Structures are given as C-alpha cells and as structure tokens.
Amino acid sequence: MSNGWLGTEPWFGLPLADLWFILVFVLFGTFLLLDGFDFGVGMLYGLRRDEAVREQLLAAVSPFWDANEVWLVVFGGALFAGFPSVYANLFSRHYLLMFGVLLALILRGLSPELIEARSGARWTQFWQGAFVGGSIASPLLLGVFAANWLIGAHQLQWFPGLLVGLTLCLLCLVDGVAYLGFKAPSLRPSLPRYGTRAMVGYLGGVVLTLGYLYVVVTPLSSVVFSPIVLGLVVLSIVFAGVYVVALAREQYRIAFLTVASLVYAFIGVVITVMHPMVDRADGLTVSEAIVSPLALNLLTLVTVAILPFITGYFIVLYSIFRGPASSAENY
Amino acid sequence: MLDPVIASRLQFAVTTIVHIVFPVISMGLGPFLIYFTWKSIRSQSPVYEQLRRLWTRVFAITFVVGTVTGLVLEFEFGTNFAAFSSFAGELFAGPLAFEGLIAFMLEASFLGIFVFGRDKVGDRGYFLSAVAVGLGSWLSAIWILIANSWMQTPRGYEIVQTGGQEVIRLVDPLAAYLNPRFIWMFVHMQTGVVESVALLLAGIAAYQLSKRSSDDSGVPLWRATLKVSLVVLLITAPLQVIQGDLYARHIYHTQPEKFAAMEAIWETGRYVPEYIVAVPTTIEGFHTPDAKQLFGLGIPGGASWLASGGDPRAVIRGLDSFPTPHPPVAIVFWAFRIMVALGFWFVLLAFWGGVRLWRGGLYRDRLLLGALQVSAPLGILAVELGWIVTEVGRQPWVVQGLMKTRSAVSPGLSSGEATLTLAGFVVGYLALLIVYIVVIRRILNTAPPAVGPETGGTDQMEGIDNE
C-alpha cells in the first residue's frame, strides 16, 4: 500500500523537527506543572503532623495524580518516538539514575493507595514516609537528569544536577502551595509563608544554575547571556512578585497562573539553551536525530488530532472535582 | 556479576512477568465493571452497587501498580536495550507514544472520576466514565500489541544507513501497524484477560462462599459474582481454544522456527506427531533446554494435521533446517503444552459450572467450588505461559530476522550496574507482589463494602469480625 498521503517531506518544511523538539519539552513542562503540585502537596504533607490536615492533603491530589503523571509517560513517548537515538543514549548513559527516578515514582505512586489500605502504625508510617520521600525524590532526580542532559555530561555530574533538582523541588512546592489555596481552605493562613520562602529559593536556584552554566559550561556562556534567556529570567522575577502578592491577598487563581507562567518560562530557558542540540553529549542536533519525515508527519497528525480531546478530559476531570477537597474518599 | 546481556534479559523477563499480571486484571475487570455499573444504576438490588464498589477498589489499586510497573518497561527500552531503541525506535516508539496520548490519557483522567466521583456526577456521567476507563485500557492493549506484533512479523519498513548505523525507517504505517500477527495476538490476549479475570472472580467467589454460612450478609454478593463469572467463562473459554488453534496455524506460516520449537520438531518431515509429553532419553538431556533425543507420547501426524489445517501428511520444517540458532526448545515446548492443557481445563470447568448453573446445585457442588478455587490464578498463569511461548520462541531474534537479542542491549552497560538493578527488581517486585496480595485480600475479606456513606464504619467492622 502506498502512503503518498503522509508525504516524504516534512510538512511546513524542516521546522517541524524543531516544533517536535519544542513539543517534547512543553509536554515535560505540563507534567511539571500538573504533577508538580502533587509533589508539592507531598512535601507539605511531610511538614504537617495533624492527621486531619494530612487526610485533606491526600484527598486534594487523589483523583488527579494518576492523570497528571501520564504527562511524564507522554513526554517519554514523544522523546522516544521523535528522537529514538536520543532516548536510547540518555537513558542508558545515566543508567542508575533512571532507576532511581523509577523507584521515587513507584513509591510516590503506590503510597497514597496504600496508606489507608491496612491498619497498623508501622505500615501507615512506612507509606506516609514513602509518599513524602517519593514526592521529594521524583522532582529532585528528574532535575539531576535534566541538568546532565542540558550540559551534555557523559558521567553524571552531581553539583549542577542537585542544583537543578533542588530548584525543581522548590518550583513544585510553589506550585503545590498555589493549588492548595483552592483545595485546602484550612491551610490558607500558612500558605503565604510557605509560598514566599519557596519562591525566593526557586529564584535563587534559577540564578545560581544560570551562573554555573555561564561560568563552568563555557560552550553555553553566550546563550545563557542571550536576550531571550535574560528576558525570561526577568519575567520570572516579575511573576514571582505577582505570586507573592496574590497569595497574600488569597487570589489563588492568579497565583496558579503565575506558577504556570514560571514553569513554561523555565521550559523556555531549557529549550533556548539546548537548541539546536538535542543530545549535547553525543553532539546530536535536532535535525540529525529526528525520525524520518514520514514518521514525523504521522506523529504530528496523531498528536494534533488528540490534544484537544486530552484538554477536554482534563477540563472535565478538574471541573467535576472543583472546590475544596473533602477528606472522605468515596468509592 | 552477570554478563550485561544476560542480566538485562533476565531483568526484562522479571519486570514483564510481574507487570503483565496487573494489566491482565485491570483489562479483564473492565467489562465486568461496566456491567456492574450498568446494573447498579438500572437494578434495585443493592448487590450490584456492592459489586461495583468492591471491584472498583480492586481495579484502582491494580491500575496504580500496573502504571508504575509499566513505566519501568518504558524506561528499560532506553536503559537496557538502547541499541534496539536506536535501531527500531522509529517504528517501535510511535505506538508507545500513541498509547500514552490516545489510551492512557483517556483511562487515567476518567479513572479519577470513576474511583472518586460517584457522588459528584449523575448516573449517565458515571456510566460514561466506567466505559471510558474500560475503553482506555483496551486501547492501550492495541498499541502495545501493535509494537510487539511488529517485532514478530515486521512489515512496512526499510533499513537505511545513517551516521554509520543501520536503522529502521517507517515506509508504510498501515502495513507496519496492521502486520499479520497483530489481530491474532489482540484477540487471543483480550479473550485471555477476560477469561483470566472470570476465573479469578469465580475462584474468589467460590472461596468466600465456602467459608460463609448461607445466612451470611456477604453471600448474595459472592453468589452474584460466581454466576456472572461463570457465564463469562462459558463464552470465553471455548472461544479461546478455537482461536488459539487457528493462531498456532498462523504461527506455523509466519514464524516456522517458533512453531518447530513449540512442537520440539528437530527434523523436517511428514506425519509429524503432536506430542502430549516428550522427555529426553539421556541424562544429559535434562540439563539443557535443547535435548534432541526425545521420547514422546503423541498423536501420529497430529502436528502436521494442526499446522496444515487437516492434512496429517503435511511437511513441517524442523529446527535443524534453520540457519540461525534455535530457541531454548524445552521452555517453549512445555510452556505451550501447559497453556493448551489449561485452556482445555477451563473449557471443562466452564461447562461443568454451566450445567450446575442451569440445572441448579451450583452452591452445593463442593468439588466444583474447590476446582474453581484452585483454578483462580491459573488463567493468569496461562497468559504468562502464552507470552513465554511468544517471547522465548522468537529467540535469538528481538525483531524477527532483523536484530538479534544479544545485539539489542545497551553497548556501554556494565555488568555491575545491570546485576545491581536486576537484584533490586527481584527483591522489590517480590515485596510489591506480597503487598498487593495482602491489600487485595483485605479488601475482599471485608466485602461487602458499605452501601451509602453513613454506614461505612460499621459494615467494615462487621467484615473484619468475619475474618
């Protein structure tokens, strides 16, 4: 059967490969925004001792986290399908790290289901610990992964890795605080305190990371000092200010929108710094690593067709459970 | 320290063998949940509402465990099989991406509503969420089986050189995705998952009924479970055997090496017998999976008859006629035999249960209830054995005729790292399975769960007292 209908040239010319590159990171950003507040809620769970508050925190994420985490699966799938060799190189290069990420995600995924599945203090404590630990370790290790990808490290580099990891943890905390403004009214008095501290830490992390890239990773110096990156950093600082004010005024919708802007600004920085490379360690550019035009056209067609539906599912899901979470789970 | 190739293969075997249990249960529960939800809305009997709640809880936990163990497999293609991923990614990864976008998104979004939203949406919305979850899980199977079946019967590709490396290019997506194996595999797998869950439910119901007195509050729930699952078994068990027979014939035509291994046929010939059992005739033969001196009891001309669809004189190619090394024959031979035997046992069980259901006396037939209990996990075992036939039987190839498994492993992987993660999975997955069984047992033993939110606590206490 002939497949003239998909063509053998990329649609809209070569930039389709670049668009797919951008899409891969936007998918990661969407994961970071949506599962980010799940992680942030998990961190706050570790800070609170009151069981009623903890139950409410758990209930705030229970119906959503699974759907949120699918964005990570889709990110992985899009990277693998668009840039198979990059997926293979990255995952095999940082072998043990990837299994660390898996362990963190497994513990975080299982624990909410298991905390109340059985009575017994040790059982409960273990899975509560796993929930908090998984919520911290997941963004931390994903940050280590992202940093090593960006700088093109052959051997795992822990300093920039942990720097980016901690920055992502703080972003998730910022995210979780804004989200809990909607979901956990009883926590509202303490949210500005958590949010402001986490936000200051996040901005510090971004500046330190960019400083490290500028000074240590010399091939990236010029792009770190480029107008786009500097512009995004300035925008992030403005958004951070708006976030802090919005939290203090209990305007959680605005706070959440600023978090979304911060997440995509972060992704914008990553895209700008990495492009045109997609795997710096192996010296692969986007146009070298992309799959054939036919495969790319097919991926694009399916993705463009399905994304409106996915948006619809998430609107339905979040609007059904809008408003404060009730701590009683109902099967 | 193990060789990285061996360790990666063992690790993939362990992680898939454990993972597949959960999608089998969740995909198989899908149609049951849709039915229970429908009946709970339409019927006045509280039993269906209890059934819906009970199996939704089981589904929710199974789905989560399936998600996290499935993520492991997606990662392993990159971490352990980087050479394969670079070589075949253009064809293999597309279906995986589509699984995420088309199937997983649908399933996971509506799962939130299905599990937590009964009192937030109306009957119609709730029923739709049940359908969306079930549909999502089955769509997932389509994409995963497209990826797997392409590795068995690759089509719609070409091999090109880029940067000094051979890679697969997609040239015809329809031919690649709807490759000859796909539909056989899909029908066999999906019939298998429904049959497996019917057996699981019937066995659990038989167990619960056997330890409860007839005036126990849980009896109506478990009787309903038993009846529904026997009806489903009556439909799926015969279908699976008939389709399985045709499927084996398809394998003979598309992967003759695998067929020869399934039947332990070494020399090409006519009137090839269908062995029921075959044992090595030398002591050394027991140490290797590929002993050639076999003493077999079988039906003369049976394998020829099966492969050709009715001709006992048909020629069958033996393993010795292929230039490539053969798969470990004994594993494939026995996995196939035990799977087929189980398939026939399920048919017998289905008719036995069907007669009791029709003529009465279902709940008094101790022997049947015992047989059902013993058979509860055997459907899942049969699925596992079927996959062992599929995956071990295609060795030494990872993609039939295109790439050998030993060339698929990540080139830079050290034996220390590979051994470490393998050990981690063996220990961790054992713990995971124990936790899963403990939690599911507790849910089942406290059934029926409360109907109506107010009485939640007390009913649950009653359940615990019954333990």
Contact B143, B103 (CB under 8 A): yes
Q: Which of helix, strand or coil describes residue A21?
A: helix
Mutate one of A66, A122, A287 to test the B interface: name it (highest B CB count within 10 A).
A66
Q: Which residues contact B93 (CB under 8 A, 6 or more apart)?
A: A77, A80, A81, A84, A87, B77, B85
Q: How many CB atoms lie within 10 A of CB B236?
A: 25
Q: Residue B450 has what pLDDT?
A: 52
Which among B109, B119, B439 has the least Cβ separation from residue A330?
Answer: B119
**For range A174-179, the mean pLDDT:** 97
Tell whether B19 is within 8 A of chain A (Cβ): no
Give the separation between CA B89 and CA B399, rounded to whole angstroms. 12
DSSP structure class, residue B316:
B
Q: Residue B465 has what pLDDT?
A: 36
Q: How many CB atoms lie within 10 A of CB A76?
A: 25
pLDDT averaged over every residue in chain A: 92
Whole-complex ipTM: 0.93
How many Å lie between the alpha carbon of A73 and the closest alpha carbon of chain B?
Answer: 6
Q: Residue A90 has what pLDDT?
A: 95
How many Å lie between the alpha carbon of A238 and the closest alpha carbon of chain B?
Answer: 33
Q: How far is CA B303 from CA B290, B323, B393, B457, in A?
A: 19, 22, 17, 60
Under an 8 A CB cutoff, do B119 and A1 touch? Answer: no
Q: Residue A195 has what pLDDT?
A: 96
Mutate one of A8, A64, A95, A326 to test the B interface: name it (highest B CB count within 10 A).
A95
| A296: confidence class by pLDDT, cuts 50, 70, 90 | very high
Q: List CB contacts (< 8 A) between A87 and chain B.
A: 77-78, 85, 89, 93
For chain A, give the percent of residues with pLDDT over 70: 94
Give the separation between CA B298 and CA B275, rounded to whole angstroms. 4
Chain B segment 413-452 residues within 8 A of A by beta carbon are: 413, 417, 420-421, 424, 428, 432, 435, 438-439, 442-443, 449
pLDDT digits (tens, 9 = 90+) for B409-464: 999 899 999 999 999 999 999 999 999 999 999 998 886 655 544 333 333 333 33
Q: List CB contacts (< 8 A) between B439 and chain A.
A: 113-114, 117-118
B163: left (phi over 0), alpha (psi -120 to 50) or beta: left
Q: Residue A7 has what pLDDT?
A: 62
Under an 8 A CB cutoff, do B94 and A87 touch? Answer: no
Q: List CB contacts (< 8 A) between A127 and chain B.
A: none
CB pairs under 8 A between A and B: 231
Q: Which residues of chain B have pLDDT under 50?
A: 452-467
Tell me which of A118 and A288 has the higher pLDDT. A288
How many Å lie between the alpha carbon of A233 and the closest alpha carbon of chain B?
Answer: 32
